[in-house]
Amino acid sequence: MISYRPFWITLKSSPESTYSLIKTYHLSSSTIDKLRKNKPLNTTTINDLCRILGCGVSDIMEYVQVEGEQTL
């Protein structure tokens, strides 16, 4: 499972907020909701977050193994 826990840590240590991401950088509130609920985001959005926050992909998301996850 992809977790956006690193995003919240990165955001907390940056001068930005969810409000500024929406108002200044025009991210949608549904994108913020997806981050909160660990829902899929496209790579363009991940790229935008990295540029805004001046960080790498690993500062936005991580893979977390979940027991009982559906096999491929």
Q: What angle separates helix 43-53 from helix 5-12, to the nearest 10 degrees?
A: 20
The answer, yes or no, to whether residue 31 has pLDDT greater than 90, is yes
58 lies in a domain?
yes
The SS3 assignment for 38 reads coil
- Across residues 20-47, what is the average pLDDT? 97
Among the listed residues 51, 71, 72, 57, the one whose alpha carbon sits nearest the alpha carbon of residue 2: 57
- Predicted pLDDT at 9: 98
Q: Are 3 and 65 in contact (CB under 8 A)?
A: no
- Across residues 34-50, what is the average pLDDT? 97
Domain count, the chain: 1
Q: Are 17 and 8 in contact (CB under 8 A)?
A: no
Q: In this predicted model, what pLDDT tens digit does every residue of 2-12 receive, in sequence order?
A: 999 999 999 99
Distance CA 39, CA 33 (A): 8
Domain that holds residue 27: 2-63
The answer, yes or no, to whether residue 72 has pLDDT greater than 80, is no
The answer, yes or no, to whether residue 71 has pLDDT greater than 80, is no
70 lies in a domain?
no
